Amino acid sequence: AAVGIGTTMLLHCDLVYVSDEARLAMPFVGLGLVPEYASSLLVPALMGHAKAAEKLLLGDPFTGEQAVECGLANAVLPAGEVVNHARRMAERFNALAPAAVRESKRLMRAPQRAAIQQVMAAEGEVFGQRLRSPEAREAFQAFFEKRKPDFSKFS
């Protein structure tokens, strides 16, 4: 399972391999929070607005196969093969020219670096505010009480 930052940190990885048993989710809004770790910028850029709205606003869990389909992961593999596959890819990666790898990664990330930093700062500020909000308190209390949150009083 990859929930919240467990999913959004994948946006910052070069290679992502997931299990056919994987369940990913970004349930921020359902918890009275907002997206974080630049996901409000990167998820729409990766998936398009409609899919991003589905993942970030509704927060429904999705499978490893769906993660590949929407561009979040490179491949979905049987659960028992993920670690070995990742090791093989890491070995291939380690055999490459280190400076060429660093520079290639820098060039690939450079166009979005400033935007990512700005968005992460903005998300962090709002996320902190939302953590202290009545909506978040209701969501967390509902979670611990094993019930659905009631946001109707916050409209």
pLDDT digits (tens, 9 = 90+) for 82-118: 999 999 999 999 999 999 999 999 999 999 999 999 9
Nearest of 70, 73, 57, 101 to residue 6 by alpha carbon: 73
* pLDDT at residue 126 in the model: 98
* pLDDT at residue 121 in the model: 97
* pLDDT at residue 147 in the model: 96
Look at the block and give the residue holding tokens 């202290």: 132
Beta strands in the chain (DSSP E): 2-3, 17-19, 23-25, 62-63, 75-77
Look at the block and give the residue holding tokens 């398009």: 48
Q: What is the C-alpha to C-alpha distance for residues 109 and 66, in angstroms, rounded to an integer?
A: 24
Q: How confident is the model at residue 36 (pLDDT cuts 50, 70, 90)?
A: very high
The one-letter code for the residue type at 83 is V
Nearest of 43, 63, 66, 59 to residue 148 by alpha carbon: 59
Q: Is the pTM of this model over 0.75?
A: yes
* pLDDT at residue 12 in the model: 97
Bridge partners for 77 per DSSP: 19
E strand or H helix at 107: helix 98-131
The one-letter code for the residue type at 62 is F
Residue 155 has pLDDT above 90, yes or no: no
